[in-house]
C-alpha cells in the first residue's frame, strides 16, 4: 500500500489542498477534533472486540460489535467526504483542476465497497 506521500509525489508545492506536493487538508481544529474523538471511540471498540475474542465471547455478539465498528467507520468517512467536497474539491474545480472529479469518483467507489 502506498503512503500518502508516494500517492501524491510530483505534485506542485503549496499550502492548500490543490497545490501542495504532499496535499494537506485545511479543516478547522473543531472538525479535526470531532473526527479524532470518533476515531478514539472506534479504537476503543476495536480493543473491546479483541478482548471479546480473547475471552471466547459468543461469535454472534462479536459480529454485532464488528457491525457497530463498521457503521462508525462509515460515519467518519461520510463526515470527512462531506468536508472534502465542501473544501478541497470546490477549490480545485475553481482552480480549473477538473480531473479532481475523477479522483473523487475513485474514492467514492472505494468507500462504497
pLDDT tens-digit readout, 55-98: 999 999 999 999 999 999 999 999 999 999 999 999 999 999 99
Asked whether the predicted pLDDT for residue 9 surpasses 70, the reply is no
pTM: 0.74
**28 against 69, higher pLDDT:** 69
Q: What's the average model confidence in pLDDT over 29-38?
A: 95
Where along the chain do its domains lie? Answer: 4-111
- Percent of residues, the chain, with pLDDT higher than 70: 81
Its CATH class, for the domain covering 4-111, is: mainly alpha
d(CA 86, CA 89): 7
C-alpha distances (whole Å) from 90 to each of 18, 50, 94 are 10, 40, 6
Amino acid at each position: 500500500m502506498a503512503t500518502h506521500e508516494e500517492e501524491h509525489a510530483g505534485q506542485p508545492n503549496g499550502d492548500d489542498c490543490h497545490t501542495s506536493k504532499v496535499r494537506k487538508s485545511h479543516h478547522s481544529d473543531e472538525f479535526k477534533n470531532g473526527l479524532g474523538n470518533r476515531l478514539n471511540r472506534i479504537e476503543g471498540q476495536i480493543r473491546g472486540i479483541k478482548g471479546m475474542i480473547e475471552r471466547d465471547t459468543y461469535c454472534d455478539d462479536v459480529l454485532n460489535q464488528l457491525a457497530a465498528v463498521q457503521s462508525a467507520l462509515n460515519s467518519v468517512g461520510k463526515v470527512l467526504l462531506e468536508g472534502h467536497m465542501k473544501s478541497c474539491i470546490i477549490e480545485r474545480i475553481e482552480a480549473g483542476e477538473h480531473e479532481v472529479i475523477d479522483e473523487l469518483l475513485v474514492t467514492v467507489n472505494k468507500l462504497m465497497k
